[in-house]
Structure formats: structure tokens, C-alpha cells
A = this chain, B = another copy of it.
Amino acid sequence: MNIEVCYSPQSYPLFHNSESIVVVIDVLRATSAITTAFYNGVSRMIPVATVEEAVEYRKNGFMVAAERNGEMMEGFDLGNSPFGYMNAKVKGKTIAITTTNGTQAIEAAKSASKIVIGSFLNLEAVVEYLVKSKRDVLFLCAGWKNKFNLEDTLFAGAVAQELIYKHNFNSNCDSTIAAMELYKLAKYNLYEFLSNSSHRNRLAKLDLERDVKYCLTPNQCPVVPVMEGKFLVKG
């Protein structure tokens, strides 16, 4: 089974392979929030790319999460802070969600035959899912507005390393090599390694250090959200 890493949703068409499972990654914070939501009993989520679509779902009575540029948008129920989903009120609910990068990445990969949601919070669960699936894997990093970002790359490297070193996966892709090398440097202290990274600093300005620390702590939510039609469900 082959592994590739795509650093920007914009580049997805270069990597599309109808056989691949696409792991969408937006560590800070959309895919961490989604993972947390399912771990806390959310029933289904509907990722949408635009605020307009989110507004429509709101009008139709859905609980709706909307974030742009790190902040929850006014008039919605939730943002993309994982802590917002650790709440009994989300249990059993269907929640529509739109975010700056994560839901754009899901949209970019909509032609994929299978999309799963990855974050440090469900690292081992994602590894197990991919090992069982025995299919090619494409890690799609959400990045920041189509630019490369470090934390998504580190997660891709963490999973790729498990799959290649301990299971029967391989890669001849330079972005996979780079992601694994960077993860090797970062793994003993992800938070410290990211101290100069752009998005950690962006969130620090918004007083979201607690979110960052939580999102970088592996294996707190052993669930794998997967797309089925327009819904994310527990895989």
C-alpha cells in the first residue's frame, strides 16, 4: 500500500487516486474538534465549505458550528474549539460545521472514495483503521488558506511512520519523507517544536493556548469519523 502526503487542498487534484483513503488533517483545530465531538456522542456532522450553507442549516433548525480566522462566528452555536463539544447538549445531535481550512479540505477531496478525519487525538485509532483497510493512503493537510503548515504535516508524518515502519506500507513521495523527518524532530515535544509556527502564534493571540495543548496530546479520543454521503459519522 502506497502513502502520499499533500500539503495543500489546492493540490489535491494532483494526488487524486480513486483507490486511496484520504485522511483529512486540520490539527488546529477543525479535525480535533470533529474527533472530540464524536467522542462526546455527536451523532452526525455535515461539513460545509461556505458560511451561506451553514446559515441555511441554521434556518432549518440544525445545530451549527462556524469558524473563520480562528474565531467562532456570531449567531452560531459552536466554533471549532474542541472544548465546545465536551458538553451534554451535543449528544445525539447532527451538527453542520464550516471552518477556515478543515471543511475546505474535506470539500477539496469530495471525489475521494473514502474520507476519514485525523488528528493527534485519534492517532492510534486512525493507524488501526488504515492498517485494517489495506488501501493506499493520501494524507491531505488542510494547511492555512492553501499554504503549508507544520502541525498537519507532523501528524501525517506520525501516522506514515507507524504504517511504514510497523506495517506493510511504503512511499516514494518526498513530502512523506519530509513529514516523517520533521515528526522525528518534533515528537518528544510537539508543543515546543511548534513554538515559532504561524498558527500556534495566531491562536496564542486569541488566548487559545489551552486548545493548542489539548490538540497536541495524542490518543484522547479513540474514534475515527468517516464521510458517508454528505455526513460524517463514527467509522
Residue in chain B with minimal CB distance to A197: B174
Given A8-B11, A10-B11: A175 in contact with B146 (beta carbons within 8 A): no
Q: How large is the interface on A (under 10, 10 to 19, 20 to 34, 35 or more residues)?
A: 20 to 34
A182 in the interface, Cβ–Cβ < 8 Å?
Answer: yes
What are the residues of chain B within 8 A of A14 when measuring CB–CB?
10, 145-147
Distance in angstroms between the alpha carbons of A15 and B146 in the assembled complex: 10
Distance in angstroms between the alpha carbons of A8 and B185 in the assembled complex: 24
Nearest CB of chain B from residue A200's CB, rounded to whole Å? 10
Stretch at the interface among A44-52, A59-67, A132-140, A148-156: A148-156
| Chain A residues within CB distance 8 Å of chain B | 7-8, 10-11, 14-15, 144-150, 153, 172-175, 177-178, 181-182, 185, 196-199, 201
Can you name 9 extra interface pairs (CB under 8 A) apart from A178-B178, A181-B182? A8-B11, A10-B11, A147-B174, A148-B175, A149-B174, A172-B196, A172-B201, A177-B196, A177-B197
Distance in angstroms between the alpha carbons of A178 and B182 in the assembled complex: 7
Q: Could you list some 15 contacts between A and B, CB below 8 A?
A: A7-B7, A10-B11, A11-B147, A147-B173, A148-B174, A148-B175, A150-B174, A150-B178, A172-B201, A173-B198, A174-B197, A174-B199, A181-B185, A182-B182, A185-B185
